[in-house]
Chain A
Amino acid sequence: MDLALLTQSIVTGILLGGLYAIVGVGLSLIFGIMGLTNIAHGNLMILCSFLIMVFASVFSNNILLALIFTIVVMMVVGFLLQNFLVNKVIDKGAEPALLVTFGLSIIIQNALTLKFGADARSIDSAVANMNVVATKYVSISGAYLLNFVVAVIVILALTMLIKHTYLGRAIRAASDNVRAAELMGVHTKLIYSVTMCIAMVTACIAGLLVGNTFVFYPYSGTQYLIIAFGVVVIGGMGSIGGTLLGGVILGLAQLLGSYFFGTGYQIFAGYIVMLILLTVKPAGLLSNMKRK
């Protein structure tokens, strides 16, 4: 047994889990509050990656400024999409809203291919190529460490927002009982739109981290949507904290699968673990949200 490689796999798996968590947290939030499976989440995140790349070139490679601009744009886009598309059909059962997001997903993917072509892209930053820890047993890249730290901060901030603010309570109330929430004076459709804005903020951050860690293509959204599903299913649909746990389990399963069975089994191992956990705990590990 190669102890160094095993240690490296465990550390990388955990850190990769942070990236997976931030990819999945927006999907989990939307599902937990509205009961909506946002098929477009992966492609919206990749749209954010492209926007950050474009804005970064406009702002002389100032990534932070590009991120802020993208967040503003995507919050507006998210609000409009929710308000004028999804909210119109969300009361008509799960399927119409699902189809709306599916259609949106295809539009985004094709529009990106049309505009940017099928070439691989990335968001370059100084952090991406830096090794912050380099020992005999383990080395940690700046990008992976940044992904994990940002994921923890975002998930903590979201948890605080949901648990301790009036907006958060209104979001939980709309998720718990729509009619009762309306009777408290909560405009639930507006709350859904605000929730979509929050999910867009997480998608922008995820888009930056993905673009800073890996290359991306106009069609990468589907790949990340599947990862997001894995994270959310393992952690528990609607559980914000569960996405971090789900991300770490999926990341570890992939890297350890790769270590024990070869790199060809990396993705396979992740989904085998997901299937086992689904059998043992079908609602996910930390699922606690429901919808009436």
Chain B
Amino acid sequence: MAEEYLLRVEDVDVRYGDFLAVHDINMKFQKGAITAVIGANGAGKSTLLNAVMGTNRPSKGKVFFKDEDITGLRTSLIVRRGITMSPEGSEVFEGMSIRENLLMGAYTPGPRKKRAELMDKVYQLFPVLKEKEKQLASFLSGGQRQMLAIARAIMSDPDLIICDEISLGLAPVVIGDIYEKLHEINEAGMTVVLVDQEVHRSLENSHYSYVMVKGGVVMEGPSGELPEDEVKDAYFGINKYA
């Protein structure tokens, strides 16, 4: 049923000039679940998610959020509907303090009114950010930047959070911490879309997965039921995915 799914991507193509970057994408993101989008570099994951966020405009197809068509809307309007993104490479505001970064997360009118409450919530989730709130974001470590990016996204009080390349460049122990926080966020009721290049970790930490190869979806299913070896074949483009 449509209302079960917070976000739906239907028959979406995205082009960069003449190059068809993703094609015929159909995905459904169940409310309250963690859905993983798995794929190697260049598979089209970020292109697709940028199309959801309005950064790229789909050349074909539709994107629905809460059953409303959001295709081609400006990013700032999509954020106001309740989708947020912790972007690849964290992209924190380097020239601002941690507190200011978090306040920017609550920029839109709704979250701005309850910014104190949201700030308490993210400080409980990431106490290290509270300790360093007056420091410039440029002084944070890679893991702390990722935490700040997720916390900043939560400050917009979203229904759905997209975490793009959540473990990129991080030490395994830090990745474990971040996934733990992600599960806490999800258990509190937030729908999560997860992009990670590590197949095992993606399957282990999600309820449902889509596997992308060369701009298309080649496999999908409940994460616990997908054959990991076959997902890895798809990821590396070997055997029947060569």
Interface of A with B (CB < 8 Å)? 166, 169-170, 172-173, 175-177, 179-188, 288-290
Contact = CB atoms under 8 A, between A and B. Distances in A.
Contacts of A183: 53, 75, 79, 84-85, 87, 91, 153
Given A179-B87, A180-B87, A184-B152, 5 more contacts: A173-B93, A176-B94, A181-B93, A184-B105, A184-B107
A169 B92 contact: no
Q: Is the interface of A mostly helix, strand, loop or mixed?
A: helix
Interface residues of B, number: 26
A185 B76 contact: yes
Interface string B90-129: 0111111000100111011000100000000000000000
Most A CB contacts (10 A, CB to CB) among B91, B93, B105, B156 go to: B93
Contacts of B87: 179-180, 183
A81 B188 CA distance: 47
Contacts, number: 71
B74 A186 contact: no
Given A173-B104, A187-B74, A179 B55 contact: yes
Contacts of B153: 183
Interface string B139-180: 000000000000011001000000000000000000000000
B28 interface: no
A170 B105 CA distance: 10
A205 to B, nearest CB: 27
Contacts of B85: 183
Contact of B156 (A180, A185, A188, A290): A185
B93 A176 contact: yes
A77 to B, nearest CB: 25
B107 A170 contact: yes
B80 interface: yes
Contacts of A169: 96, 100, 103-104, 107
